[in-house]
Amino acid sequence: MRLKTRPAAGPLAGELTPPGDKSISHRALIFACLAQGRSTVTGLLQSEDVKATEKACLQLGMGLERQGDSLVLEGVGSRGLSKPEAPLDMGNSGTAMRLLAGVLAAQPFDSVLYGDESLSQRPMTRIVKPLTDMGARIETAENGTPPLKITGSGSLQGIHYDSPIASAQVKSCILLAGLYADGRTTVTEPLASRDHTEQMLPAFGVQLVDGCGVEGGSRLTAAEVHVPGDISSAAFFMVAAALVPGSDLLLRNVGLNRTRDGIIKMLQAMGADLSVRNRRRQGGEETGDVRIRHAGRLRGVDMPVDWVPALIDEIPVILALAAVSDGTTRIRGAAELRVKESDRLDVMARGLERLGVSLEEYEDGIDVTGGRVSGGVVDGAGDHRCAMSFAILGQVAEGELMIEGSENINTSFPSFAGDLASVGGAVSHE
């Protein structure tokens, strides 16, 4: 699939509510599956990634009933999971695979997790090692990638894991396994990663210990979960409004978790006119409404390394913004982007270079010097975030921009093109 964009004919204006947060949606389904009783989830993201998690939970025994905009999920309890009759297909979702691996590593039955071509290239040693340290038995492909073949154990030992990387997926995988382990399981990280698991576990009746830890044998009880709008999806519209002259957008019900709000800090540092209003808490998560208005050409900045975990998913669209900002934007400490759905640093660098942007790529980051951006053809490499970032840049390019490899936008933001067009953007499917 291809996206075609043209320079926006006028300002972007209006209101949007971004789709439900993908990270929270995955966790809501998995936790509800493990809980005893009937949980209600509203605002769940309807994307291919989340549907893969939903299907897997149904294969493990969860019941599901749709009631209007809500899902009523009948949990089976942590010890009530059923052996799946077939391997579990995680599609393109690394989050689903890594979190469910933590759960399945503790079950008395064998299971297999696999995914599409992209997911089959993503590193799984980062979860296999700590799970093996806990007593799990897991096989991967020769290079440490999926599929994951998990041999039933039913007996794990709690550990303290000092993670070498800041990864919410790794942390969450270990904590979920720790619910089944003997003793206490704790995790530390070099930098704080997103904490949706730590926010949601208490809502399901599990109390955290030692900062980021759980006691083995803790049981989940049913809960009500309201999934806020995904700040990673909202980020595309924040950047679009910051780029297109005269724009004024209001984004409602945006998740503002402190471990995810780096995009707001970055935009403000670059000189964007952005404000947050109506802050509130819903289901343990802070939400609010974000207004962003065009304030002229923004300026490049040196991104602090400790901001990276809080905006790792937004770096592709930040690079698009940097391409038309004054000066140079420098990003370091972002090597994790090389093992996402694509090598995002390389995909963005190659695309920006084709559009005439001056940049220098490093092992863990990139320097982008802003200037003029031409039209042309770029490759999103099947990566939803890269493809959408190029589409946003296309709103201010100096000609038509065609984005190849855009089909995986459906994994996180199926309504992206329609939502952008609804506020005045120039985008269409080819």
> What separation, in Å, do the N-terminal and C-terminal C-alpha atoms of the chain show?
7
Helix (H, G, I), strand (E, B) or coil at 249: strand
Say if strands 224-226 and 36-42 run parallel, antiparallel, or are unpaired: parallel
Q: Which domains does the chain have, with CATH numbers?
A: 3-20+228-429 (3.65.10.10), 22-226 (3.65.10.10)
The model's pLDDT over 309-331, given as tens digits with 9 standing for 90+, comes to: 999 999 999 999 999 999 999 99
Average pLDDT, integer, range 125-147: 97
Q: Is 313 designated active site?
A: yes
User: Residue 283: what pLDDT?
Assistant: 67
Residue at token pair 């991967």: 140
**From 21, 289, 313, 419, active-site residue:** 313
Q: What is the pTM of this model?
A: 0.94
The strand pairing partners of 404, in sequence order, are: 379
Residue at token pair 């995988």: 173
Average pLDDT, integer, range 77-83: 95
CB atoms within 10 A of CB 263: 25
The model's pLDDT over 140-191, given as tens digits with 9 standing for 90+, comes to: 999 999 999 999 987 899 999 999 999 999 999 999 999 999 999 999 999 9
